[in-house]
Amino acid sequence: MTAVFAAMVANSAAAQADTSQNAHRGNSVGHANTKAPKAQKRTASSTRPAPKSVVAAWTPGSVLSTLIANGTAEHPDAGLLIGNGYSYDAARCTGSTTCNGGRAGLLLGYGGNGWNGGSGGSAGYFGGTAGVGGDAPTGCTANCSGGNGGNAGLVGVGGNGGTGGSGGSGGSGGRGGLLAGTGGAGGKGGDEAGRGGNGGAAGLAGTGGAGGHGGAGGAGGDGGRGGLLWGDGGAGGNGGKATEHGGVDGTGGSGGDGGNASPIALWGNGGAGGRGGDGKDGKAGKAGQEPGDDGGDADDGGVGGDGGSGGDGSWIFGTGGAGGTGGKGGAGGGGGKGAEGVKATVAGADGGAGGDGGDGGVGGAGGSGGEGGSSRILLLVELTAIAGNGGDGGSGGKAGEGGKGGKGGKGDAVTVDGGTGGDGGDPGSAGAGGAGGLAGVSCGCANDGTAGATGPWATSGGDGGEGGDGFDAVTVGAVGGDGGDGGNGGSVGKGGRGGAGGSGAAGDATVPNGDGGAGGAGGSGGQSLGDGGDGGDGGPGGTGSDLTPGAVGGVGGTGGDAVPEFSDGGTGGRGGDSVGDHGMGGDGGNGGNGGSLGAGGQGGDGGKGKDGNDGTPGANGTP
């Protein structure tokens, strides 16, 4: 070809020969001129006039570059026949400008890559690869889609699509070779629910390109069509998992549909459907901020995305694609913890109750499985075609645990008794499993998808808060404060432990010693699960003196009762000891009653007396 262009250059030089009047005359053919030519005046400064024809202005390099040349940043397309398209980069495509990759020459050449969402260039028909679509520019707020991949020539793979930006779709894959070659894969969708790009179609023979995966909460792209005469459809892209900023109401993105095989293909299977994206996990409830505030309820988990449908197989010979699996439901969030009770400021009042724990969130439902693709065999011949299986449903989300109740406020000099602990929060419900997808239609030999499993139920959490401890008396002969009762557990939580009684103060010659405060009762266990809380220990009696006998130790708190049949009652609190001479120990608290098949709580030990009687142990709880 170079020789051809050299000949063109030579001919163009001959075309620019002398065209003066004498030259025309001297070249006349068939007419002899016997007269001498007239003399002409010439000046030293006379010059040949510039040619005015278009041919005279033409230069051989411009034609050559039109046919054979690589693309440039200013002119990205290659020559008409041979050359590589220009590939852009950050240095040549600044800011958010979209730059498409250059087209290759018609015969030979590589397609250029796009930038900032620009499309890739097409490859030459007889050699070269297609250009890749550019990713969307970073930080874009509009036109955030990825660029499409370039198309292949007669043989080759289509270019892949570019990744989408925030909320933008991925670019579509380019077409595979007209004769043979796989379609390009679709680009991934951008975050904030960007859809994946569709896979490129194949030509006469080849597999369709795979669909791009969805961004956060975005749907997957569809698979490309298989070759017209031979080849499978491309797989659908997976849906994206929902996040805080991606997915409507926390729902996962749906899977892309599998690509169809050509109905007239001699062989071709449908592409598999993409998997649905998982739902967003629920946010935990906020803990109580101010003393005695309840914990916040948690958010529910998001729903899983549905699986994509399988592509249809060839009508001559092939199988339908399997449906995609549904996404998992998001887990429910945990309830917030209740805040500790406030200390009262009025003399003789009890400490403030702790806040109740927040309820846990409900687990999200799993997504439905995709429907399987259909197929036939030999058109009219009654043979068994193999349809695609339906996709399995997604499993439900885990139930969120209830929040723990806040601890009761501790007694002080003006608020001698401890506050009651807050009740625990109830857990959320488990998410339901998604329905299985239907099998493809054509024979009844394929199976429907299996329904997803229900999410795990919460079996713990939501315990009752501890009771506040009674105040240790400091005034001569003052009685110790009683411990606060423990909070009740949520439906599966344990009861809170009762607060300990405060110590009695020593007396003097005129004032007797103060008795120890009673321990608080343990909270009841939850209605569904959970043991009763332990009772609080009684406080020690006041220290005796030579003139006054020792005081009585505080009574131990009663253990909390259990409600469910397999749960156990709480242990009774231990009685308080008497420190002074001739003092008596406090009685132990009774154990809590267990469920019908559970154990009763152990009674608390009696307190020790000094030169006096010990306290009586508490009775054991009944089953």
Beta bridge partners of 243: 246
Using CA of residue 57, residue 58, residue 59, residue 61, what is the dihedral sign?
positive
pLDDT confidence of 540, banded at 50, 70, 90?
low
So what's the pLDDT on residue 254? 92
| Residues 591, 454 share a domain | no
In 3D, which of 392, 493, 490 has the Cα closest to residue 436?
Answer: 392
Report yes or no on 253 lying in a domain: no
Helical axes 60-67 vs 2-14, angle rounded to 10°: 150
The CA–CA distances, whole Å, from 385 to 215, 310, 379, 388, 450 equal 36, 15, 10, 10, 22
Confidence of residue 154 (pLDDT cuts 50, 70, 90): very high
Note the pLDDT of residue 14: 34
- Percent of the chain residues past pLDDT 70, beyond the cut: 66
Tell me how far apart the alpha carbons of residues 352 and 340 are, in angstroms, rounded to a whole number: 8
The mean per-residue pLDDT over the stretch 303-323 comes to 88
Q: How far apart are CA 359 and CA 336, in angstroms?
A: 7
Residues 515 and 556 both lie in one domain: yes
Give the residue from 407, 431, 462 where a domain finishes.
462
Residue 253's pLDDT band (cuts 50, 70, 90): very high
**Do 360 and 427 have their domain in common?**
yes
Inside any domain, residue 297: yes
Instruction: Extract the tokens encoding 587.
Output: 């009685």
Minimum mean pLDDT among 462-466, 546-550, 572-576: which range?
546-550
Question: Residues 362, 389: one domain?
Answer: yes
432 φ, ψ to 5°? -80, 145
Quote the pLDDT of residue 343. 53
- Residue 494 shares a structural domain with residue 428: no
Assess whether 515 and 559 both reside in one domain: yes
Q: Same structural domain for residues 367 and 405?
A: yes
Predicted TM-score of the model (pTM):
0.70
489 shares a domain with 449: no
pLDDT at 544 over 60: no
Distance CA 470, CA 480 (A): 7
For the chain, the average pLDDT equals 75
Q: What pLDDT does 286 receive?
A: 82
Does the residue 193 lie in any domain? yes
57 lies in some domain = no
Pair of tokens at residue 274? 């993409």
Q: How confident is residue 17, by pLDDT bands cut at 50, 70 and 90?
A: very low
Distance, CA of 540 to chain centre: 56
pLDDT-derived band at 34 (thresholds 50, 70, 90) equals very low
Whether residue 292 sits in one domain with residue 201: no
Does residue 364 belong to any structural domain of this protein? yes
Contacts of 579 (CB under 8 A, 6+ apart): 540, 541, 542, 543, 544, 550, 610
CA–CA dist 328, 455 (Å, integer): 9
Q: Which of 306, 225, 314 is nearest to 264 (CA)?
A: 314
Q: Please tell me which of 229-238, 331-340, 527-536, 568-577 the model is most confident about, judged by mean pLDDT.
A: 229-238
Percent of the chain with pLDDT over 90: 28
d(CA 512, CA 290): 40
Among 437, 462, 487, the domain-final residue is 462
> Are residues 158 and 182 located together in one domain of the fold?
yes
The answer to whether residue 63 is domain-embedded is no
Last residue of a domain, which of 180, 214, 248? 214
**Section 217-232 average pLDDT:** 94
Q: Mean pLDDT, to the nearest integer, of 447-454? A: 68
User: What pLDDT is stored for residue 554 in this prediction?
Assistant: 66
> Which comes out higher in pLDDT, residue 16 or 312?
312
Mean pLDDT value of segment 580-586:
67
In a domain, 245, yes or no: no
Same-domain check for residues 180 and 306: no
**Which pair of structure tokens corresponds to residue 561?**
């009762």
Span 110-133, average pLDDT = 95
Is the residue at 121 inside a domain?
A: yes
Instruction: Please tell me the least confidently modeled range out of 56-65, 152-161, 221-230, 537-546.
Output: 537-546
- The domain total for the chain is 3
Closest CA to 529 of 430, 454, 598: 598
Host domain of residue 151: 74-138+145-214
Lowest mean pLDDT among 240-249, 334-343, 383-392: 383-392
Q: Write down the residue that tokens 């406020």 correspond to.
A: 409
Same domain, 483 and 591: yes
